[in-house]
Structure 1
Amino acid sequence: MKNCGDSQIQIRYWDYRDNYRRNREEILALVDKVFSSGRLILGNEVTRFEEEFAAFCGTPFGVGVNSGTDALFLALKTLDIGAGAEVLTVANTAVPTVAAIRAAGAAPVFVDVEEETFLMDVARLEQAITPATRCILPVHLYGQAVDMEPLLQLAAKRGLHVVEDCAQAAGAIYRGKRVGSFGEIGAFSFYPTKVVGAYGDAGMAVTRSPDLHERLRRLRFYGMEGGYYAEEEGFNSRLDEVQAAILQLRLARVDEEVRLRTKLAALYEEGLRGVGDVALPVVRNGNTHQWYLYTIRTGRRDALMQHLAAAGIETRINYPTPIHLMRGYRFLGYGEGRLPVTERLAGEILSLPMYPELPESYGQRVIETIRTFFSTR
């Protein structure tokens, strides 16, 4: 669904250009530093960012890769999860989560989600386990963590691997620990829209295991450990030096940017509480939310979206069609009605403009436009 033409948009859902204008001189200096270094691939900038980001997550090891999709794919390959294996995950996520599972040769098995948080309903996991189940892949959606304690207990009880999809929640805390530090491997995306965003594609896998770290490094570079000799069949998925340099700058400022996101979320919370049939985001006790997205629910979503577009306010639906209902994944054998909460939420959710540089006055205008919609209908 299109929101409105670019010429009509006055308040964008997301825009990196204010961040670029603010940091332009430093970013260009970093680009020049890399181009002048004599090393463009897997050099000092990648090594430094791997160390810094792993420490940020509370893990000793990080492996920079080409994208968040590759981080998931390589995590599964590192754990030897492939043909004949089932991976438990959710369908209300970006396609890359499932694409990575399929690329590894495994089969996704979907579980439903919690209505209030949109997160994996951990209570439904055990009934989805079969003899072929090898891994649980929770998605920390919109900026907060899945309920990891019971998930990890179940995984230990049933002998299952755990790979975390942290693409939307870098830095989010669950009971005192950051996402990515719970499973055997945590996979992150640094796509430009993300909480820690590059100026292009980039990703990372983090782990506490020296052995998994060694294999991740090997698999991202053709299975090689040195020279031109492959120890095993591998792939080409390398974090770019330029992006690694820029990501060091973005990581250094993430706390301040999340503070601004949280301030905007509080503005929305105060301004939209009790308005119409709008259900506001719920933060689980023990969680901190990074507010990658601010996603509301309403039974009048499509009409509200059109009303906002007419006022020059861009919004998005994350995600309008659950993966199990997409034409490209019909072969998985899921029909409508298999994931009732997931399917119902897909018709109600709407993500409002959210990024650190969004002026408070713009947030207030979003609120007023929504309030007007419900007061006149």
Structure 2
Amino acid sequence: MHSIDTLIIGAGALGLACAARLAEPRRDTLILEAEGLIGSHASSRNSEVIHAGLYYPPGSLKAELCLEGRERLYAWCAQHGVAHRRIGKLLVAVQQDEITRLDALAANAEACGVHDLQDIDQARLGELEPALHGVRALLSPSTGIIDSHAYLQSLLALAERRGAQLVLHSRVERLQRDREAWIASGHSAGEAFSLRAQRVINAGGLFAQRLAARTEGLQAPLLHLCQGRYFGYAGRSPFSHLIYPMPEANTAGLGIHATLDLAGQLRFGPDVHWLDTLDYRVDESLRAPFAAAIARYFPALDAARLQPGYAGVRAKLSGPGEPAADFLIQTPADHRLPGLVNLFGIESPGLTASLAIAERVARAL
């Protein structure tokens, strides 16, 4: 049976960040990905936003790793030539009764260590974004956008330069402890395989719990699938910043916000739609509810220019009506299984936090 030092399961942002951090020439590192492309799920189906770290409970992993990851990610992009831009985000109180929530958000951000928010009054808001309706806003200059595909490729390139190997179409279906190592078994390009690894990182994203349920000695947390759908906006964008309304009360999302890609193309989303099974469809019938939500802060919206875009699915540890759950980085100290780290519930801001998460994983192993 082939033996390696480190097995990384999943070639999304988390798995590739771990590979880039852990790979070294004297240690065999193998990345196994079930799909035919890297980043086929959450890592390529998101807003491509570098988050500043405003919304999360102070002291939570999301708050800490978002701030650390944000700075690591900006530095990484500069060092490795990954296209990105600190475009800035406006958090908007559309009506007077939302100002209290805007102030609470500012206080939360300050408690999380975000100290650069700027208070924007209505007159200044009109100067910054003439098409935007709002009575007050906060400007987050640390928020940015990134070419997520280029980022994934840069992580893989560094990991491979350090000796890591990526194998696609390879699904790990079971993990068993064998004395001082782990036996990983599954199928690669239709052929059964087994290999021995000293260290295993389960970075399977939406499929991490499935593998955890088939890992000897491990209890898998419950997975909740939450779909977020996006609509594109044809033609020139009226905005030069990212636009976020106040987070929706009692939902898992931040509201249908406006984001830009690096080419200046505008898109709206995501919404919140709970699923029983994985589904990436975006139905034309969503145009009307999207238009109604967007028109609150963009009154000149031309609904005919809204076009169904794409959908992502969040791997959440909390369900409908429950408080948002934190990231779960399950280390040997947590489950008493040497050499195994599981990454559960790494939804937003997972892309922003990916390099910081990889650092935590490295310390745990």
Short-chain TM bin: under 0.3
**Which structure carries more strand by proportion?**
2
TM-score (norm 2): 0.24
TM-score (norm 1): 0.24
